[in-house]
Structure 1
């Protein structure tokens, strides 16, 4: 079978899946992307670098939707040009796998009308976007998602909660990618020391890290009360606030700038981290705190647990089979910062209990090892392809 991946980056989210397909010598796997990690390759996976659009200033009086749609059209047309040249080399894919983001697959049917298309939901549909679902930016993502749906034979999301972004009559036709984690990568044995502004945070006796997923969370007084309690009452404790997005980071830095003295020197605010650095941060952390509960992705929780880091989070709906309080993680008190501080402080004072919890967290993650679970997803895709090919499934094409 000939399989083509279309994505903004290589290896990105789909590199492991491409490698899984390529493990079968009967498959020919090609990965086309606009960007790639320098010096990185996957066994059995051929690479194609797509033509890339260059940004020429921002705005020109247009709104966010118009700007984003213009970029998507450029990406789609440049990808179309690259794919047409690919077809001239006699490469015709049986199956194409793509994200609904960026616009790479917008015009691919003009080149490969006979291919079986599998689309995965854009990563932008997350808890941080839920509060602003009808902004220009989010409406663009919905528009791109619709364009992908009308061309796809199969459509996948990454957690059950993401189905709410679709009309109710469509949800039964949308499947969820089985939750998994790359336990080989997210492993303390693979991690290096984590530095921030020249400070080796891996060497600190206590490091408590926080995921801050939205600007609203960055302003939460409960978050800052907990952070201050750790800094004031535990003089050896360093605290990391990790976030995505310039606005969220700016909000965190604004509040952090009001601190002074020794407490300020032990508070570290950082934005988006490359995957390796994120892994190293998790492995350096004694405890990782995730206070948000909206649209939680089990895969993110498993990454934390796979690093043998104690996860502290409120009750998370839909994770009953994964999170077990007092066994492989701790459910923190609902809203009281003092109770949350006492919970973390008590755990830090009991290293033997902490060690058991962290070991159990790793054991839990190993049950969701991506290298074991992804082959099942590949089997599902191949089955769907064969059913479609044999006309057992209705297709619009």
Structure 2
């Protein structure tokens, strides 16, 4: 089988499945990407770089700049596809992330290839992430721009032969008429890598917390409102008042990955640290970490705090659960699809820093009582999100779609899954 993966950032969600397919000598695996990311190499996977000729012009109407950039990405992939065909490579299937545009013209470039899309998110002005914060109301312009932002995704929904969404709730964001050709299939977590290490002590190259008994962690790609960073910082202030020996470790970059940036280039980290007085000797911003060090952080954590607007679910939450870490999540979708309060983790009001601090203290005050929740967290991942279970299904789905034997209509959402908009 010949397969072409497409994602602007290599290897993204396709790391495990591309690795698995490349291990079969009968497969030829190419990965089209905008950013080659030399730190990542996958044996048997050949990278092909596509370069858009330009970015959307400033004078382009702001509703359609995202679409223009998508078309430019699709155009760049189309040109690479012509080069691949000239070199004798015609894929049986193309598997790409929908939204940025690389998949837009695949059916024109390779008319006989199957197209499978990773459908991660469909934008709504009302009822999910965009209007979640009442302090950040939408304008009419925002609502119109959000509707148009779905244009490249809608083209992919129409063109694709099949699709995948990582959670049931994320699939519900897509138009109902397309649900029947979108499988719910999480990327999977390597539970042999992300496993418990009882009694782990935290030592990083520039941070030694090996003598600290109370460690609270927070992990996100960026420090931003979408992932509850302001609320988390405010919760630390409450926590420090009552727990003089508690240390907090924040993993992530001082940037915005999702949502709006602050004016004048100010970061949310600087803004919140000026707003909230903290004992910074007990708050450690360690930046982004390689997997090995990140693993040490969550293995040593007594409480891992994961906050999010109703939006895409982060890998870090399930990876933390896989290590047997006690996760305190926000009472939002799709967190509630994974965590049941008091069973395999705890939930708190996204907008209540005091409640977040109270629940952290609850865990730290009763470590023995929480042992069963930690065990259940690990069991949840082993049962529902284990790479060992999901990867074979993912590989088989790709083969089925490539061969034209499409899966039957998706089974109903489990009754205990919270997936309402």
Aligned to 2:11: 11
Aligned to 1:142: 150
CA distance, structure 2, for counterparts of residue 118 and residue 130 of structure 1? 30
Q: Deviations over 1:201-225 (max 9, x none)?
A: 67643221346763594555xx555
Question: What is the SS of the residue equivalent to 1:301?
Answer: helix
CA distance, structure 2, for counterparts of residue 79 and residue 192 of structure 1? 47
- Normalising by structure 1, report the TM-score: 0.79
Q: CA deviation at 1:254?
A: 1.6
Q: Deviations over 1:108-164 (max 9, x none)?
A: 233211001101114586964564695566345401101212221112222222234
User: How many residues are treated as equivalent by the alignment?
Assistant: 384
Aligned to 1:105: 103
Structure 2, unaligned stretches of length 5 or more? 133-137, 410-421
Q: Which has the higher helix share?
A: 1
Question: What is the SS of the residue equivalent to 2:319?
Answer: helix
Equivalent residue for 1:239, pick from 236, 248, 251: 248
Equivalent positions of 1:17-166 (< 5 A) are: 17-43=17-43, 45-53=44-52, 60-122=58-120, 128-129=129-130, 131=132, 135=143, 138-166=146-174
Larger deviation, residues 113-122 vs 153-162:
153-162
Structure 1 residues 202 and 303: alpha-carbon distance in aligned structure 2, compared to 1, 3 A threshold = farther
Question: What is the SS of the residue equivalent to 2:305?
Answer: strand
CA distance, structure 2, for counterparts of residue 194 and residue 134 of structure 1? 45
Paired residues of 1:323 and 1:329 also in contact (CA < 8 A) = yes
CA distance, structure 2, for counterparts of residue 202 and residue 66 of structure 1? 51
Paired residues of 1:202 and 1:284 also in contact (CA < 8 A) = no
Structure 1 residues 82 and 204: alpha-carbon distance in aligned structure 2, compared to 1, 3 A threshold = farther
CA distance, structure 2, for counterparts of residue 53 and residue 335 of structure 1? 40
Aligned to 1:266: 282
Larger deviation, residues 79-88 vs 28-37:
28-37
Larger deviation, residues 330-339 vs 135-144:
330-339
Larger deviation, residues 138-147 vs 313-322:
313-322
CA distance, structure 1, for counterparts of residue 225 and residue 377 of structure 2? 26
Paired residues of 1:253 and 1:269 also in contact (CA < 8 A) = no
Larger deviation, residues 309-318 vs 3-12:
309-318
Q: CA deviation at 1:173?
A: 3.2
Paired residues of 1:256 and 1:264 also in contact (CA < 8 A) = no
Q: Deviations over 1:311-342 (max 9, x none)?
A: 12355667788535545323457977656544
Q: CA deviation at 1:349?
A: 3.3
Aligned to 2:417: none
Aligned to 2:236: 227
Structure 1 residues 226 and 192: alpha-carbon distance in aligned structure 2, compared to 1, 3 A threshold = closer
Paired residues of 2:345 and 2:377 also in contact (CA < 8 A) = yes
Ranked by relative contact order (alpha carbons within 8 Å, sequence separation 6 or more), the top structure is: 2
Aligned to 1:379: 396
CA distance, structure 2, for counterparts of residue 194 and residue 375 of structure 1? 36
Aligned to 1:287: 303
Does 2:318 align with 1:302? yes
- Normalising by structure 2, report the TM-score: 0.75
Equivalent residue for 1:362, pick from 371, 378, 381: 378
Structure 1 residues 294 and 276: alpha-carbon distance in aligned structure 2, compared to 1, 3 A threshold = farther
Structure 1, unaligned stretches of length 5 or more? none
CA distance, structure 1, for counterparts of residue 297 and residue 373 of structure 2? 18
Give me the CA root mean square deviation. 3.9
